[in-house]
Amino acid sequence: MSKAILKNFRGLRALVIMNPEAGRDTLERTLGKLGLEVIVVQPPGAWGGPRERFDLVLFDADSDAYTALDGAGLLGLPLIAVIGSEAPSQLAGAVRHRAASHILKPVRSSGIFTALLLAMNEHAARMRQHQETLALRRRLAGRRVVMKAILELISHCSLTEDDAYEWLRREAMERRIPMEDMARYTLELSTKSGVKQLRVTRPG
């Protein structure tokens, strides 16, 4: 099932890192009309530090705004680059910082909503993908632990692979803990030559 598209930005806090001559007034005014709270700083920019919460960042890609991005823990937010130069050396910074969208100079109100919509939804998709990757890694790590515990039981308790797996599953259910935790406990005792404390027997 496809995810709903985020298209209402009212109440979001936007940090704008731009000099006045880069079209900042138009950007700030349009963001305000769209319902965003706008905080403006000039590159490299300094503000209340990490205590302040922002939902997205718009920055002048032709300036030293990268100093602010790198030094303030903002790279986990949706980034929108305001671009005036198409020189590869200038664009490289926006690519390295994984800008989710961009606005071309001279800044006009007509393209700002589109940039917001693309950036916020692209960032949300990246976050979902990141969480899915973490979940897959956790499951993979859990399976490795279970397999390692099974091999220990086979080696030290003369169980078959099926019996070792069933024993782990049964013990986890009785102790009301995840099977991965039971596997880790088994391995911990095994390293201390105490696996026999578990009274391992063939299920049956």
For residue 68, the one-letter residue type is A
pLDDT at 28: 94
Sequence spans of domains, the chain: 13-107, 132-198
- Distance CA(107)–CA(28), nearest Å, equals 10
Are the folds of 13-107 and 132-198 the same? no
Element (H, E) at 189: helix 179-191
132-198 is a CATH 3.30.1050.10 domain: no
Dihedrals φ, ψ of 195, to 5°?
-65, -25
Long-range contacts of 35-38 (CB under 8 A, 24+ apart): 35/8, 35/9, 35/10, 35/11, 36/9, 36/10, 36/11, 36/12, 37/11, 37/12, 37/13, 38/14
pLDDT at 203: 58
CB of 179 closer than 8 Å to CB of 143: no
Residue pLDDT tens, the chain, 204 long: 467 888 899 999 999 999 888 789 999 999 999 999 999 988 766 555 555 688 999 999 988 787 777 766 677 899 999 999 888 888 898 898 899 999 999 999 999 999 999 999 999 999 899 889 998 898 888 899 999 999 988 888 888 899 889 999 998 999 999 999 999 888 888 776 656 566 666 655
Predicted structure pTM score: 0.73
Question: What CATH topology corresponds to 13-107?
Answer: Rossmann fold (3.40.50)
How many C-beta atoms surround the C-beta of residue 155 within 10 A?
12
- Distance CA(78)–CA(197), nearest Å, equals 53
CA angle 164, 169, 175 (to 5 degrees): 125
Give residues with Cβ within 8 angstroms of 6, minimum separation 6. Answer: 117, 120, 121, 124
pLDDT at 2: 60
pLDDT at 1: 46
pLDDT at 66: 78
Dihedrals φ, ψ of 174, to 5°?
-65, -35
